Structure 1
């Protein structure tokens, strides 16, 4: 039996788990961080909550006799990726990083790339007063001191304080449509969009809508991938890597 741990919560992680569960002789455990109250669960066994850092993860990998780890977490889950790198290094297990490609600027886009949420907050006063914030509920404290801006913050779960004084919260989960995003931005008279370079197709509609409305978009760059760790950008490539590295899916 080949034991695979998939660190995820992303759409790619769910699709990878579904493909692996269907393979004879393969046991998959999908790990969710537990930061969303009602997450979309993958098929197969699920581990919810953290592991207790690199030490806890290394112990869990040994106890469960895991053969290979696939880190298919969100592109901004840097702490989990760091734990996976350290834990697999200690245990000698192979690690693959599955990250969907980042977004690419096209004709008509007015994108402002920044290295951090703090840099995004510093830039906002020069771009507009009414801000559509789609950087996740945990990011709101970074913008709490901007009393001159009004924020529409969209997240899956309610945010916790501190938060901007002038704030409206919209609880919603993607995917979203261009028509819906256009209507939302027009209704709230949005002047600037702030987001992270999450990549993928589920939330690109807001970028298209911002382009059509001629709005500036502030995009936080994603953390760099770990040097020396194999990485792929599609589920199909991840499956091929697993076949090569472990023999998963190989007859006989």
Structure 2
């Protein structure tokens, strides 16, 4: 194994398939393990954390990693920050494969906030019907506002992540069509959408649907993770993998 791909996203899966199709196979995809049934990939996969920056540095040195691609979710701030530090300590080349952010369009009603706590505050005191699409990990923050009626969509079951009296749950994986999203939101009488500014096409349908329905969107900003050379092109990421030992 030469190139380590930090994955868990559609972009990482696309890169893995591109590597396999191009005969670039000396690489490993690392997944955090938060999804019980991750998508099958045509490259070797490891699941689980590394144990912080020190653990990632040890892994890089022990496994002879000669290059790293950070293709994690834009909100996987911790592992991305650890990757920046580990790359600095080991001196290996690295590239971030970023998905393109969404651009506000005419008709969008966005309230842009810095984090989950600010999103909770933005909902206000008056009870509202909230479509919450932020992933399972961020749900506990909204227990501070139990007066709202929440429609929560996650890949994994919510379980006890959000203990509120009014909760409806959907378990689904994108992509999601804008028209179907609009029908869902209208049927559930949603007042406001809360989402992370994840970017990409797979989940943009809900943002389009909110625009179609004239609904406000509480848009949580991407966290800062440090600096690493970046691209939005899978082809460029494939070229990086091939150039740094993944053959």
Q: Which residue of 2 aligns with 1:175?
A: 175
* Cα deviation code 1:79-122 (max 9, x no counterpart): 10111112222221111111111111001111110000100100
Tell whether the 8 Å contact from 1:140 to 1:163 is kept in structure 2 after alignment: no
SS at match of 1:140: helix
Alpha-carbon distance between aligned partners in 2 of 1:25 and 1:175, rounded to the nearest angstrom: 27
Query: RMSD between aligned alpha carbons?
Result: 1.9
SS at match of 2:29: strand
CA 1:120 to 1:170, structure 2 compared with 1: closer, same or farther past 3 Å? same
Q: Which residue of 2 aligns with 1:88?
A: 87
Alpha-carbon distance between aligned partners in 1 of 2:87 and 2:134, rounded to the nearest angstrom: 30
Tell whether the 8 Å contact from 1:144 to 1:165 is kept in structure 2 after alignment: no
CA 1:25 to 1:204, structure 2 compared with 1: closer, same or farther past 3 Å? closer
Q: CA deviation at 1:187?
A: 1.1
Alpha-carbon distance between aligned partners in 2 of 1:247 and 1:80, rounded to the nearest angstrom: 23
TM (norm. structure 1) is 0.91
Q: Is 80-89 or 16-25 further displaced after alignment?
A: 16-25
Alpha-carbon distance between aligned partners in 1 of 2:188 and 2:218, rounded to the nearest angstrom: 18
Alpha-carbon distance between aligned partners in 2 of 1:126 and 1:212, rounded to the nearest angstrom: 26
Tell whether the 8 Å contact from 1:111 to 1:216 is kept in structure 2 after alignment: yes
Q: CA deviation at 1:41?
A: 2.6
Alpha-carbon distance between aligned partners in 2 of 1:25 and 1:205, rounded to the nearest angstrom: 33
Q: CA deviation at 1:237?
A: 2.5
TM (norm. structure 2) is 0.93
Alpha-carbon distance between aligned partners in 2 of 1:161 and 1:202, rounded to the nearest angstrom: 24
SS at match of 2:124: helix
Q: Which residue of 2 aligns with 1:78?
A: 77
Where in structure 2 are there 5+ consecutive unaligned residues?
none
* Cα deviation code 1:159-203 (max 9, x no counterpart): 233433311111111111122111111111000000001111011
Alpha-carbon distance between aligned partners in 1 of 2:59 and 2:127, rounded to the nearest angstrom: 48
Q: CA deviation at 1:24?
A: 4.4
Q: Which residue of 1 aligns with 2:107?
A: 108
SS at match of 2:33: coil
* Cα deviation code 1:199-222 (max 9, x no counterpart): 110111111111110000010000
Q: Which residue of 2 aligns with 1:19?
A: 18
